[in-house]
Amino acid sequence: MRIAIATGCYYKPGETFVNRHIEHLFGGDTVVIANKLTGCNPFARPVIRRSRGGFRAADLWQQPLASALGKWRYGATSVPYGQTRRALEGFLRAERVAAILCEFGPEAVALAPVANAMALPIFTYFRGYDASKDLSKPRNVMALRKTMPRLAGVFSVSQFLLDNLARHGITLPHSQVIPSGVATDLFVPGDKQPGSFLAVGRLIDKKAPDITLRAFLAGAAEHPHARLGIIGEGPMLESLRQRIAACGIGERVTLHGALPHEQVREMLARTEVFVQHSLTDAKGNTEGLPTAVQEALSAGCIVLSTRHAGIPEAVIEGETGYLVAEHDEVGFARLIRGVLDGSLPVQGMAGRARALAVERFDNGRLLALLEQRLEALMPPAP
C-alpha cells in the first residue's frame, strides 16, 4: 500500500519518527507532502510541496476568496486551492497513493478537504505542540473540531495528548496510542559509569535544562565524582555555559552541543542515570512522550523526570525511575542525591527499564502495529 506522509518540513534530521515512517512504513512505499522543503531528500522519495510557495503565483488573485471560504468551511486558511491544489491532486493520482498519514495535526487540517474530495482515507498523528500549545488559540481548536470527522483514524504518542484534545471538545474517531518508539536493538546497555548523569534534548523552556543543571549541582554537591553531560543545542545554551563558568564546575558538567545519533547511543549505553525536567512552558507547549526518555530506558538508564505529559506512561515510579512535579527543583535534587548516596532504591531498575522498553517501545513492533491499524481502518475495496 503506497502512502503519502505529510509533514511540516522535509527533510529535518531531528524528526526521527517522521523519517522512520518515510523510510520504512509499508516497506518504504511512501511519498512525501510537505509545507516547506529544505532541498534535501535522503530517502529519494517523490516529494511535493502543499503550500502556495511551491508553485506559480497565478493563484494570487484567488487568495482572498479562497482564504475566506477555507476559514468558513474548514476553520483554516491553509487548505490548498487553485493551481496548487490541482498539482497536489495530480501528484497523488500519478503516484497511486492509497492513503495520507499526517504527522502533525495542522497537516491534517490543511489536507483533509483534499483527501475527502479524492475519496482518499486520511489519518493524523498527534505528537506534542499540536495537541497542547496550538490549542491555546481558539481558531486552531475550531479547525481541529471541523477536521476530526473527516479523518479515517487518529494516532497519538501518548494518552495525555488524546485527553488534552478531548478537554477542548475535540473528539477523536478511531483513536489509538502508538508511541514513536526507539530502535531497541541499537539502544542497548553498556558498561555503566557510576555517578554518570546525562540529559538529551533541545535546550528550550519545556525541557528546562536550567532546572536540571541547578538540581544536579545541589543533589551532587557532596559527591564530587558525579558528572553531568548535556547533549543538545538551543536558545538556552549560552546561559547554561555562563552558569557553568561562573560556578567553576566545568570539570563536572559538560555541554556537548548537538551530537550524531550514534554518539548519543554510545553515551546512553555508558550512562547510569538519565535526567530530564520536562514541563509545560509559558506558551502552553508540552511534550508528547519524549523519544529521549524511551531511548534512555532502552539503554538501561535509571530515569529521573517529571509527571508531565506522557512521561508517566513510560516511567513507572519505583520500577524504572522516579518522577517529581513540574518545577519541583528541590525534589529533583533530592532524587539525584538519593541515587548517589544509596538512599533511593535503584537495585535492578536498569534491567527493568530495558525490559519495559523492549516490550512497549520497540519501533519495529510499533511500526508493524501502525501498519495493521492503518490497514484495518481503510475502507473496503470497491
Assess contact for 305 and 299: CB atoms under 8 A. Answer: no
Look up residue 373 and give its three cell numbers: 491499524
Region 290-296: mean pLDDT is 96
The reported pLDDT for the residue numbered 62 is 59
Assess contact for 180 and 17: CB atoms under 8 A. Answer: yes
Q: Please give the sequence-ordered ranges of beta strands (E in DSSP) within the chain, or none if there are none.
A: 3-10, 30-37, 47-49, 99-102, 122-126, 153-156, 175-177, 193-200, 227-231, 253-257, 271-275, 302-306, 321-324
What is the rounded distance in angstroms from the CA atom of residue 181 to the CA atom of residue 28? 18
> Mean pLDDT across the chain, nearest whole number?
93
What is the rounded distance in angstroms from the CA atom of residue 180 to the CA atom of residue 367? 9
Question: Does position 47 have pLDDT exceeding 60, yes or no?
Answer: yes
Question: Does position 56 have pLDDT exceeding 50, yes or no?
Answer: no
What is the rounded distance in angstroms from the CA atom of residue 298 to the CA atom of residue 189? 7
pTM of the model: 0.90
Which of 12-21, 26-35, 357-366 has the least mean pLDDT? Answer: 12-21
What is the rounded distance in angstroms from the CA atom of residue 120 to the CA atom of residue 272? 48
Look up residue 248 and give its three cell numbers: 567553576
Residue 72 vs residue 150, higher pLDDT: 150
Closest residue by Cα to residue 207 from 80, 293, 320: 293
**Most confidently modeled range among 57-61, 150-154, 171-175:** 150-154
The reported pLDDT for the residue numbered 55 is 39
The reported pLDDT for the residue numbered 52 is 61
Helices marked H in 200-327 — which ranges? 209-219, 237-247, 261-270, 291-298
Dump pLDDT digits (tens) for 202-258. 999 999 999 999 999 999 999 999 999 999 999 999 999 999 999 998 899 999 999
Question: Does position 149 have pLDDT exceeding 80, yes or no?
Answer: yes
Q: Is 95 exposed, middle or buried (0-12, 13-18, 19+ CB in 10 A)?
A: middle
Assess contact for 255 and 144: CB atoms under 8 A. Answer: no
Question: What is the identity of the amino acid at 123?
Answer: F
Strands 153-156 and 122-126: parallel
Dump pLDDT digits (tens) for 298-354. 999 999 999 999 999 999 999 999 999 999 999 999 999 999 999 999 999 999 999
Region 57-79: mean pLDDT is 63
Confidence of residue 379 (pLDDT cuts 50, 70, 90): confident
Beta partners for residue 193, in sequence order: 271
Look up residue 223 and give its three cell numbers: 559527591
Domains plus CATH for the chain?
3-181+362-377 (3.40.50.2000), 193-360 (3.40.50.2000)
Question: Does position 376 have pLDDT exceeding 70, yes or no?
Answer: yes
For the chain, helix (H) and strand (E) counts, in that order, are: 13, 13
Confidence of residue 72 (pLDDT cuts 50, 70, 90): low
The reported pLDDT for the residue numbered 80 is 85
Question: What is the identity of the amino acid at 342?
Answer: G
Closest residue by Cα to residue 25 from 178, 211, 245, 209: 178
Region 260-281: mean pLDDT is 97
Contacts 24+ apart (CB under 8 A), 315-322: 316/352, 316/356, 318/345, 319/349, 319/352, 319/356, 320/349, 320/352, 320/353, 320/356, 321/274, 321/297, 321/349, 321/353
Region 149-170: mean pLDDT is 96
Region 68-76: mean pLDDT is 65
What is the rounded distance in angstroms from the CA atom of residue 246 to the CA atom of residue 201? 23
Read out DSSP for 67-89? Answer: HHHHHHHHS-S-S--HHHHHHHH
The three-state secondary structure class of 185 is: coil
Closest residue by Cα to residue 277 from 255, 304, 298, 252: 304
What is the rounded distance in angstroms from the CA atom of residue 132 to the CA atom of residue 205? 15
Confidence of residue 54 (pLDDT cuts 50, 70, 90): very low
The reported pLDDT for the residue numbered 51 is 81
CA dihedral of 97, 103, 108, 112, whole degrees rounded to 10? 10
Look up residue 76 and give its three cell numbers: 483554516
Q: Which of the 8 DSSP states describes residue 61? A: G
